[in-house]
Amino acid sequence: MTIQKILLQFEPKRKNLLSALHEVNKQFGYISNQNSYKICDYFSVSPSKLYSFITSSDVLRDQKPPLLEIKVCSGGVCKMKGADKVIKEIENFLKIKADKIYNGKVEFKKISCLGKCLVGPVVIINGTMYEKVNPSMVDDILKNYI
């Protein structure tokens, strides 16, 4: 679907901005520079305001998603269950550091609690959630993605 078709589903009112951005994000994986100007025109919002809206969100992206996106919950409960060791293991295995992006290919993030405390520690790779992860499982999980 083209960006125009997506936008036409929504009334050009600012209160529909959030839903429209979610739809664009879903279709293209991110909100590109080019697309954001079209969104600005359609909703009569200045580019700076749109950018500030997108960057305040955890879910909307303004850059192409990486090939491998790893998120690890680092809330207090997961930490009590050993999330730190899982993070170290991933860092050692991929030779990267947490909270950094590598050439747009790999992104490794610590995230806030998602309410999956009972099945923690939780690791999310490219949208798939792995529950009750312990350091010895990390190799097996990551091998599916590289």
Rank residues 38 and 110 by Cβ distance to other proteins and give the closer one: 110
Q: Specify the DSSP class assigned to residue 75.
A: S
Judged by CB under 8 A, which of 12, 47, 76, 104 binds other proteins?
76
Based on the shown chain and the rule CB under 8 A, indicate whether residue 62 belongs to the binding site for other proteins: no
Q: Please give the biggest Cα pair distance in the chain.
A: 52
Q: 74: closest CA among 105, 116, 137, 102?
A: 116
Based on the shown chain and the rule CB under 8 A, indicate whether residue 16 belongs to the binding site for other proteins: yes
Q: Where are the beta strands (DSSP E) in the chain?
A: 68-73, 100-102, 106-111, 123-125, 128-130
Based on the shown chain and the rule CB under 8 A, indicate whether residue 60 belongs to the binding site for other proteins: yes
Based on the shown chain and the rule CB under 8 A, indicate whether residue 57 belongs to the binding site for other proteins: yes
Q: Which stretch binds other proteins (CB under 8 A): 2-10, 48-56, 100-108, 138-146?
A: 48-56
Residue with tokens 């790999």: 106
- Enumerate residues 109-128 that contact other proteins by CB under 8 A: 110, 112-118
57-69 burial, b at 16+ Cβ within 10 Å, e below that, comes to eeebbeeeebebb
Under the rule (CB under 8 A), what is the footprint of other proteins? 14-19, 22, 43, 45, 49, 52-53, 56-60, 74-77, 79-80, 84, 110, 112-118
